[in-house]
Amino acid sequence: MREARYDILFEPVQIGPVKTRNRFYQVPHCTGMGHRYPEADLAHKAVKAEGGWGVVSTQEVEIHPSSDLTPSNQGRLWDDSDIARCRAFTDRIHAHGALAAIELVHGGANAANRLSRMPPLAPSHALVTSDEPVQARAMDKDDIHAFRRWHRDAALRAKKAGFDIVYVYAGHDLTLLHHFLLARHNHRTDEYGGSFENRMRLFREVVADTRDAIGDSCALAVRLAVDELMGEAGFRHGAEGVDIVSALAEEPDLWDVNLSSWENDSQTARFAQEGYQEDFIRFVKTLTTKPVVGVGRYTSPDTMARIVRQGLVDLVGAARASIADPFLPNKIRDGRIDDIRECIGCNICASGDNTVTPMRCTQNPTVGEEARKGWHPEVLPSLDRPAQILIVGGGPAGLEAGRALVQRGASVILAEAGDEWGGRVARESRLPGLATWIRVRDWRMVQLKASAQAELYLGSRLTADDILSYGIAEVAIATGARWRTDGVGRWHRAPLPFLGAGVTVGVDRILDDGPGCLPAGPVVIFDDDRYYMASVVAELLAAGGFDVTYITPAPIVAAWTVNTLEQGRIQTRLMTMGVKILALSALKARDAETLTCACVYTGRETTIACASFVPVTSRIPVDGLWSELSARRAEWPDFGIARIERIGDCLAPGIIAAAAYSGHQFSRSLDQPAAGFDALR
């Protein structure tokens, strides 16, 4: 059973006419599934209700075709034909005893209306916020009245669909209501613009309209971003945030408060610690008697209990923590703290929405597969027969495969050639800002060490003869990958012989030996991987006193991290640390002391000092063991071997989430029919 200090987290909270079963509140968040893959979206959210969350919310739900976020996979409540899909959501959530909340949204100038082709709407004439040649038109009074009607109609549909909590949403610089509040978007001179009271008028009206629509059977929630971290140029918690909450203090049944924009609200662990929003939202409880929910990537039960006891919030909000472990509330309830699968704050989940794909999670490989493959985050089918499996390699793929196989009832032998578990996550977690990534290893090791069915061996480098002689029927090869040093990546598709003219130091050498492995003098990093690694290495070396130049063929540093909401912070940090950046540049030539790059457009060359060169381009699988075993495939039956498979980076180098997924998929494949590639429904 749980410890008494966590009892406070399981107290019910009255939200207007409805009551939660506890203080765990899954706030609205995107899934990358939405209206396009409704069954997948429903299954993902239903698992959270099953896992003990007191409130489970939708993602953004568009209220009208003039807020068409295509191709983004959000929810839709455009007309009555969408009610049945919403009713399916509430039925699934209610079946597990949770309350269902819906976040109604009109995107205003954030919606380019690619599908509906309706002119976007905004407080004032403006370009849409996406990089498209589309302009939003300034709303006249008829448009404002129409918008109020659309929102009211959507609230009525939400009530009819069975939702317990209905949102009025003004935050993240993504919504029409927020744009009316913000002076930089609202240049009106009528009663809906100018003074702050005027800019708040529409928000106040929509709150009243929504209250009138839902009556006393549903709770009314306001979601408000109280600070934009822009100083006087934007919304501030100590100014406009206080003004709004003071003016509307008792009107909603719940205040859901956070930061704007999304990049601030969902900062990665590299740039923000657990609870980083507390100082910005602390004032809200002093101004209202209504319950407050806030977020901060909370993963620790002790921290959750603290913020409730301190009166900071009444409900512990979570998006990412609920994705990493949908059963977090039940595990705290049952005293299973060590079983909590903690979010690492990498924002791979956010990349799903930004790449218009069903989201994934580094910690929880079942995310997005709850419906398509029937994967449950806590329940795996037991094996039909006793089985022993040998896993070679103790990185994220090998550890996840072993953990899941033990849960299925298999006996697992896990052999790691090195002297520590975790593979790449153990090494990368020692880089600046990535310490939380070690949770990928630690959670799995806790599960494995607790099982008598797992034999764990460090310092065990196995040969092909070893594996054959063991005669274990099922073998997984999870030997990882190594960073290339020959320049091959996205831009340079063939090795660059001229790199041999000077000192080249690979990423793996730096991970193993630290900055001290580089000679004195200027360092040039070439980023053609375009995710986090080159920027973290640059930060590490700059902090160590090296003169660092960062070259990339992309127009910005760490280009793919736009999808994980951290690109701006990464580039700012490197520039602040004095790292020189040469974007839109490819490699051209090198000698012992210099390196020459060329503009990818004009070919104009730039030569810079280079005592050591660090290529961060692509990786090569460490698959020598697999190759030897594959060459002796004909001998497998003689040794009683039925299957040998590569998993994780050894099969195809990728992100850590992909490695964990690969290991999990291997564990599910034993004695199970292969899951097909049916389209998500």
Q: What is the pLDDT of residue 671?
A: 80
pLDDT classification of 674: cutoffs 50, 70, 90: low
Domain end: 287, 313, 345, which one?
345
In a domain, 586, yes or no: yes
pLDDT beyond 80 at 1: no
Lowest mean pLDDT among 126-140, 328-342, 462-476, 514-528: 126-140
Pair 565, 474 in one domain: no
Q: What pLDDT does residue 338 have?
A: 95
Helix 567-576 to helix 533-543 angle (10° resolution) is 20
pLDDT attached to residue 679: 41
Q: What is the pLDDT of residues 414-437, one digit of tens each?
A: 999 999 999 999 999 999 999 999
The pLDDT assigned to 675 comes to 60
Per the prediction, the chain carries an average pLDDT of: 95
**CA separation for the pair 594, 608 (Å, rounded):** 6
Q: Give the whole-angstrom CA distance, residue 213 versus residue 207.
A: 10
Q: Looking at residue 676, what is its pLDDT?
A: 54
Alpha-carbon distances, residue 532 vs 62, 164, 477, 507 (angstroms)? 33, 41, 26, 12
> Which helix (H) or strand (E) covers residue 254, if one does?
strand 254-259
In the predicted model, what is the mean pLDDT of residues 597-617?
97
Please give the structure tokens belonging to residue 7: 């009892």
d(CA 283, CA 264) in angstroms, rounded, equals 18
Is the per-residue pLDDT at 11 higher than 80?
yes
Residue bearing the bigger pLDDT, 121 or 263: 121
pLDDT at 512: 96
What pLDDT is recorded for position 238? Answer: 79
Q: In CATH, what number is assigned to the domain containing residue 429?
A: 3.40.50.720
pLDDT tens, residue by residue, 307-350 = 999 999 999 999 999 999 999 999 999 999 999 999 999 999 99
* Same domain as 255, residue 166: yes
Contact status, residue 556 vs residue 343, Cβ threshold 8 Å: no
Same domain, 294 and 392: no
pLDDT at 677: 54
| Structure tokens given for 214 | 């839902």
Q: Is the pLDDT of residue 678 over 50?
A: no
Residue 256 in domain: yes
Instruction: Indicate if the pLDDT at residue 681 is higher than 70.
Output: no
**Structure confidence at residue 230 (pLDDT):** 86
pLDDT tens-digit map of 647-658: 999 999 999 999
Residue with tokens 């977020």: 295
Q: Residue 547: CB partners within 8 Å, gap ≥ 6?
A: 521, 522, 523, 609
pLDDT of residue 132: 87
Regarding predicted confidence, which is higher, 261 or 633? 633
For 12-26, what is each residue's pLDDT tens digit?
Answer: 999 999 999 999 999
- In which domain, by residue range, is 589 found? 485-619
CATH number at residue 574: 3.50.50.60
To the nearest whole percent, how much of the chain has pLDDT over 90? 93
Is residue 567 domain-resident? yes
Q: Does residue 591 lie in a domain region?
A: yes
Question: Residue 545 class from Cβ within 10 Å (0-12 exposed, 13-18 middle, 19+ buried)?
Answer: exposed
Q: Residue 326: which of 98, 506, 540, 4 has the closest Cα?
A: 98
Could you report the per-residue pLDDT of 24-41, keeping only the tens digit for each?
A: 999 999 999 999 999 999
Using alpha carbons, select from 547, 585, 584, 552 the residue that is nearest to residue 570: 552
Is the pLDDT confidence value at 605 over 70?
Answer: yes
Residues with Cβ within 8 Å of residue 115, at least 6 apart in sequence? 65, 68, 70
What is the distance, to the nearest Å, from the Cα of residue 140 to the centroid of all Cα atoms in its chain?
A: 38
- pLDDT attached to residue 31: 94
**∠ CA 111-166-312, rounded to 5°:** 100
User: For the segment 254-299, what is each residue's pLDDT rounded down to a tens digit?
Assistant: 999 999 888 899 999 999 999 999 999 999 999 999 999 999 999 9
Catalytic residue set: 30, 169, 172, 265
Write the CA distances from 102 to 97, 250, 314, 582, integer angstroms: 16, 20, 19, 45
In a shared domain, residues 436 and 321:
no
Identify the CA nearest to 35 among candidates 105, 94, 121, 96: 105
Any domain includes 380: no
Pairing of β 135-138 and β 126-127: antiparallel
Domain match, 328 and 400 both? no
Domain count, the chain: 3
Indicate whether 351 belongs to any domain.
Answer: no
Give the mean model confidence (pLDDT) for residues 110-121: 95
Q: Residue 680 above 50 pLDDT?
A: no
- Asked if the structure places residue 408 within a domain, the reply is yes
